[in-house]
Amino acid sequence: MRFRFSPALPRSPGFTSGDALVVLGLAALLYAALSLAWRAPAVVRGPTISLSPAALPYYALLSTTRMTAAYVLSLGFSVAYCYAAALSRTARRFLMPLLDVLQSVPILSFLPVVLLGLSAVLPQKVAAEIAAIVLIFTSQAWNLTFSFYQSITTIPTELREAAAVFRLDPWLRFKTLELPFAALGLIWNSMMSWAGGWFFLMAAEIFTVGSRDFRLPGLGAYLQLAANRGDLHAVASGVGALVVTIVLIDQLLWRPLLAWADKFRLDAVAGEEAPRSWLHDLLSRSWLVERVLTRVFTPLSERVDGFLHRRLSDRVAVPLEGPVETRLSLRAIGVAGVAGAALLYGAYRAARLLATLPAASLEPIGLGLLATFLRVGAALVVALAWTLPLGVAIGMNRRLASLLQPVVQVVAAIPATALFPVIVLVLLSSAGGLNLAAIVLMLMGTQWYLLFNVIAGASAIPQDLRFTTELLRLPWLERWRVLILPAIFPYVVTGAITAGGGAWNASIVAEHVEFAGHSHSTIGIGSLIASATIKGDYPLLLASTLALVVTVVLINRTFWRWMYRMAEERYRME
Amino acid sequence: MPTLVEAQPETDLLSLQGIVKAYGTGPRRFVAVQDVSLRIRAGEFVCLLGPSGCGKSTLLRIITGLTPASAGSVLYRGKPLDGINPHATIVFQTFALYPWLTVQENVEVALKARGVALAERRVRAVKLIDTVGLDGFETAYPRELSGGMRQKVGFARAMAVEPELLCLDEPFSALDVLSAEALRGELLELWLNKAIPTQAILMVTHNIEEAVELADRIVIMDKDPGRVVAEIPWTRSMRWWPARPRRRRRRSGPLRGSPVARPSCRWRV
Q: What percent of chain A has pLDDT over 70?
A: 91
- What is the predicted pLDDT for the residue at B250? 41
Q: Is A262 on the interface with B (CB under 8 A)?
A: no
Give yes or no for a cis peptide into B225 (omega within 30° of 0). Answer: yes
Average pLDDT (B143-150) is: 89
Identify the residue among B60, B103, B112 best suited for mutation to test binding to A, counting A beta carbons within 10 A and taking the highest: B112
Question: Rounded to the nearest 10 degrees, how much is the dihedral formed by the CA atoms of B61, B65, B70, B73?
Answer: 110
Give the CA distances from residue A51 to residues A226, B103, B198, in Å, rounded to whole numbers and listed in that order: 7, 57, 76
Q: Give how far B236 is from chain A: nearest CA, Å.
A: 33
Q: Give how far A168 is from chain B: nearest CA, Å.
A: 5
Question: CA quadruple A19, A24, A26, A27: dihedral positive or negative?
Answer: positive
**How many contiguous H segments (helices) and E segments (strands) does chain B have?**
8, 10
Q: What is the ipTM of this complex?
A: 0.81
Q: What percent of chain B has pLDDT over 70?
A: 83
* A152-210 tens-digit pLDDT: 888 888 898 999 999 888 888 889 999 999 888 888 888 878 888 888 888 888 887 77
* A318-353 tens-digit pLDDT: 655 444 445 567 777 888 788 888 888 888 888 888
Give residue B259's pLDDT band: very low, low, confident or very high (50, 70, 90).
very low
- A16 vs A218, residue with greater confidence: A218
Q: Is A406 on the interface with B (CB under 8 A)?
A: no
Among A31-40, B162-171, B173-182, B237-246, name the most confident range: B162-171
Q: Which residue of A has its CA nearest to B142?
A: A266
Q: Which residues, other chains included, contact B86 with Cβ-Cβ below 8 Å and sequence gap of 6+? A: A167, B2
Q: Is A176 on the interface with B (CB under 8 A)?
A: yes
- What is the predicted pLDDT for the residue at B205? 92
Among A86-95, B142-151, B230-239, name the most confident range: B142-151
**Residues B36, B222: contact at Cβ < 8 Å?**
no
- What is the predicted pLDDT for the residue at A2? 33
- B241 pLDDT higher than 50: no
Identify the residue among B67, B100, B105, B159 best suited for mutation to test binding to A, counting A beta carbons within 10 A and taking the highest: B100
Count how many pairs of residues, chain A against chain B, have C-beta atoms within 8 Å.
77
Q: Return the axis-axis angle of helices A538-555 and A485-510, rounded to nearest 10°.
A: 180
Which one of B66, B83, B143 has the shortest CB-CB distance to A161? B66
Q: Provide the residue type at A572 as one letter.
A: R
Q: Is A171 on the interface with B (CB under 8 A)?
A: no
Which candidate, B99, B103, B187, places its Cα nearest to that of B137?
B103
Which one of A159, A180, A322 has the shortest CB-CB distance to B96? A159
In angstroms, the CA B80 to CA A365 distance is 68
SS percent in chain A: helix, strand, coil, step 5: 75, 0, 20
- What is the predicted pLDDT for the residue at A572? 65
Q: Which residues, other chains included, contact A22 with Cβ-Cβ below 8 Å and sequence gap of 6+? A: A98, A101, A102, A105
Give residue B243's pLDDT band: very low, low, confident or very high (50, 70, 90).
very low
Give residue B111's pLDDT band: very low, low, confident or very high (50, 70, 90).
very high
Which candidate, A397, A571, A417, places its Cα nearest to that of A509?
A417
- A374 vs A8, residue with greater confidence: A374
DSSP state for residue A47 in the 8-state scheme: P
Q: Which residue of A has its CA nearest to B90?
A: A165
In angstroms, the CA A359 to CA A365 distance is 11
Which one of A169, A310, A316 has the shortest CB-CB distance to B83? A316
Average pLDDT (A456-480) is: 83
Rounded to 5°, angle at Cα A265 from A259 and A269: 100
- What is the predicted pLDDT for the residue at B264? 40
Give residue A270's pLDDT band: very low, low, confident or very high (50, 70, 90).
very low
Q: Return the axis-axis angle of helices B177-192 and B147-160, rounded to nearest 10°.
A: 20
Q: What is the DSSP string of B238-266?
A: TTTS-SGGGHHHHHHHHHHSS--PPPP--
Which one of A165, A264, A268 has the shortest CB-CB distance to B84? A165
In angstroms, the CA A282 to CA A223 distance is 35
- What is the predicted pLDDT for the residue at A6? 36
Q: Which residue of A has its CA nearest to B116?
A: A306
**Residues A206, A530: contact at Cβ < 8 Å?**
no
Q: Which residues, other chains included, contact A390 with Cβ-Cβ below 8 Å and sequence gap of 6+? A: A451, A454
Specify whether the backbone of B121 is left (phi greater than 0), alpha (psi in -120 to 50) or beta. Answer: alpha
Average pLDDT (A490-510) is: 84
- A273 pLDDT higher than 80: no
In angstroms, the CA A63 to CA A73 distance is 16
DSSP state for residue B18 in the 8-state scheme: E
The answer to whether the Cβ–Cβ distance between A164 and B101 falls below 8 Å is: no
Which candidate, B163, B188, B63, B186, places its Cα nearest to that of B110?
B163
Which residues numbered 70-109 in A keep a CB inside 8 Å of some CB on B? none
- What is the predicted pLDDT for the residue at B263? 42
- A408 pLDDT higher than 70: yes
**Residues A42, A498: contact at Cβ < 8 Å?**
no
In angstroms, the CA A14 to CA A488 distance is 24
Average pLDDT (B35-52) is: 90
Q: Is B88 on the interface with A (CB under 8 A)?
A: yes
Which one of A162, A322, A323 has the shortest CB-CB distance to B92? A162
Q: Which of A10-14, A413-417, A423-427, B14-18 has the lowest mean pLDDT?
A: A10-14
